[in-house]
Amino acid sequence: MNDYDRIAAVIRHLDDHHREQPDLARLAGVVGLTQYHFHRLFRSWAGITPKDFLQCLTLAHVRSLLRDGDSVLDASIEAGLSGPGRLHDLCVSLEAASPGEIKARGEGLRICYGFAASPFGECLIAETSRGICHLAFVDDGPERSVARLAAQ
């Protein structure tokens, strides 16, 4: 198995099992590597650590649960987290918004945004008082980018 196949297998495994919050040892075992070697390999291919990747998958799952009407407690348990406190920390650190604010779709949350040039093209950056909550490239015009931000 080459490195590309290893990383693809782990990403598929994470996609299927993110609710179980697999640890580094389990993920390394999926592809038959030591934890140290796997961690370095994953980071070099994905650009982030396996834990960071898992947190992004968990947050995406939680966002859909909250938007579908699940309570914060139910969403945290369904996502494989130990409770609402861990969910709160995850949401605030990655989205700069609390689970309640995400559930309310940002109602009452002050979000400032602007456009900036980057080496990869124009991007839209939005922030709350806690930090950056949105970063996206402007592919189809500023108006549509702002409309997508508002919809989220």
Q: Give the pLDDT confidence of 33-73 residue by residue, as tens digits.
A: 999 999 999 999 999 999 999 999 999 999 999 999 999 99
Tell me the CATH number for domain 3-103: 1.10.10.60
pLDDT tens per residue, range 92-146? 998 888 898 888 888 888 999 999 999 989 999 999 899 998 899 998 888 899 8
What does the pLDDT read at residue 149?
86
How many alpha carbons fall within 13 Å on the CB side of residue 87? Answer: 27
What does the pLDDT read at residue 61?
95
What does the pLDDT read at residue 56?
92
Distance CA 82, CA 60 (A): 17
40-to-46, 53, 121 alpha-carbon distances in Å: 10, 14, 29
What does the pLDDT read at residue 101?
87
Predicted confidence (pLDDT) at residue 23 exceeds the cutoff of 90: yes
Angle at 127 between CA 59 and CA 98, to 5 degrees: 40
Tell me the residue type at 101.
E
What does the pLDDT read at residue 1?
84
CA nearest neighbour of 59 among 37, 32, 78, 36: 78
Mean pLDDT of 75-100: 91
What does the pLDDT read at residue 36?
96
What does the pLDDT read at residue 39?
96
Parse the chain into domains and list their residue ranges: 3-103, 112-151
Distance CA 17, CA 118 (A): 35
